[in-house]
Structure 1
Amino acid sequence: MARPRVFDVDKAVHTAMDLFWRNGYERTSLADLTSAMGITPPSFYFAFGNKESLFKRVVDHYGATRLSQAHAAIDEPTARDVAENMLYKFADLYTDDDPSLPRGCLVVNCALPSADGEGTVRAELSVAREKRRERLRDRFQRAKDTGDLPSDADPDALARYLMVVGWGLAFAAQSGATRSDLYRTVQLALAAWPT
């Protein structure tokens, strides 16, 4: 008969989120995770399978508890509102007032140093980013079709533009930029938005 778990899985996922966010995916070891969670490697494997499976849960948790605020901007009434709401939400999230939270974005912090190749964390994060870009592109295409964006607007380029500015905000926050700094960047980015 299997022994019951003696730890809180949700709390463990939150603990792992903090470690991955601060250290990145590759620099967070199994020893770091089990030590912070207060569990043994066998308990870790029983609960999560492996580090990559845990990371997927962490990204889902991060998306649901943090990024969902910015991603909800896609439902704003105008394309300009989508862009403005999304970028300001990112600026707020990446410079959270809670000093216990790392600055920047967990997903951005974990995406770049990972090795290339199929099935890697980097590849999976890339697929997720592409899906977000496609949703934005489709939203901006609808805006163009209804006259909310000019007829010469490029929905794909606008979606990519928002994604790139969002990543830049994450890097700037991680490097010490304040919320005020990021707001000024958002204002400049929005000045280039088609009218």
Structure 2
Amino acid sequence: MQHSSSKQSKGRPRGFDPECALEIALDTFRRKGYEGASVDDLTDAMGISKPSMYRVFGNKEALFNKAMDLYETDIVSFSVVSLREPTARKVAESFLRGALDAQTRTGSKGCLGVLGSMAYSDDAHAVRANVLARLGAARAALASRLELARQLGDLPGNDPIDGLVSFLYALVHGMAVQAAAGVDRTALEDIIELGLRAWPASGIEGA
């Protein structure tokens, strides 16, 4: 009796590297968004079976949250680094240029924060809330740094701190959309230059 060969499951390949798989998942989420990336898309990209994905990373939401952790520490770490600059203007410039570097680096596919915040399906409420909470924490840290600059006399004027933070994020998110659409780096640098022209002058002489 001749037996028909059955297709074997991908399972968990020998030499499987969870860190590498997570990077692949992050890339998939950046290209397709949370809602657009199906479990099949993710397991096919990582080269593992669904049971293996659930065993190593948890469900799709848990995998996305782990991908967001990696995204924050690897791709958008500029948002933390920029806070160390000595003046508010340099904070703003470092923030914008760091975003540009992240958006135009080799293999960049899009802003995971923007994509995640636009997830509105019934099964994506927790994901959207998580992304917005992360964004809120980043905005609060930037606002705190600008408030300190104002107290030190480095950021004169009456422009509301929250408005300045929103201005920077509007530029960053707008650049992310344009970068994903294929706008070249030179054009995006022009946006930064125009944005910095609108930024309040430093109140510290020579800054």
Matching residue of 2:90? 81
Match of 1:165 among 155, 168, 171: 171
Deviation at 1:163, TM superposition (A): 1.2
Q: How many residues align?
A: 189
Match of 1:176 among 177, 182, 197: 182
Task: Output the CA distance in 1 between the equivalents of 2:113 and 2:124.
Answer: 18
Secondary structure of the residue aligned to 1:24 is helix
Structure 1 segments (4+ residues) deviating >3 Å: 116-119
Report the AA paired with residue 40 of structure 2: A
Q: Spell out, residue by residue over 1:18-62, the C-alpha distance to the aligned partner (whole angstroms, 9 max, x if none).
A: 111111111111111111212111111111110110111111111
Check whether the contact 1:95–1:104 (CA below 8 A) recurs between aligned residues. Answer: no
Matching residue of 1:137? 143
Matched, 1:69 2:75: no
Check whether the contact 2:97–2:192 (CA below 8 A) recurs between aligned residues. Answer: yes
Listed as ranges, the matches of 1:9-48 within 5 Å are 9-48=18-57
Task: Output the CA distance in 2 between the equivalents of 1:116 and 1:140.
Answer: 37
Task: Output the CA distance in 2 between the equivalents of 1:118 and 1:50.
Answer: 13
Matching residue of 2:155? 149
Check whether the contact 1:103–1:174 (CA below 8 A) recurs between aligned residues. Answer: yes
Secondary structure of the residue aligned to 1:26 is helix
Secondary structure of the residue aligned to 1:39 is coil
Q: What RMSD over aligned residues (CA atoms) do the two structures have, in Å?
A: 1.9
Runs of at least 5 residues in structure 1 that lack an aligned partner in the other structure: none
Secondary structure of the residue aligned to 2:36 is coil
Check whether the contact 1:112–1:122 (CA below 8 A) recurs between aligned residues. Answer: yes
Report the AA paired with residue 155 of structure 1: I
Report the AA paired with residue 81 of structure 2: A
CA 1:183/1:158 → structure 2, altered by over 3 Å: closer, same or farther? same
Match of 1:8 among 14, 17, 24: 17
Q: Spell out, residue by residue over 1:50-89, the C-alpha distance to the aligned partner (whole angstroms, 9 max, x if none).
A: 0110111111111111111343101100000000111011
Matched, 1:54 2:63: yes
Report the AA paired with residue 53 of structure 2: F
Runs of at least 5 residues in structure 2 that lack an aligned partner in the other structure: 1-11, 202-207
Deviation at 1:123, TM superposition (A): 1.5
Task: Output the CA distance in 1 between the equivalents of 2:129 and 2:136.
Answer: 11
Bigger Cα Rg: 2
Task: Output the CA distance in 1 between the equivalents of 2:28 and 2:84.
Answer: 32
Deviation at 1:108, TM superposition (A): 1.8
TM-score by length of 1: 0.90
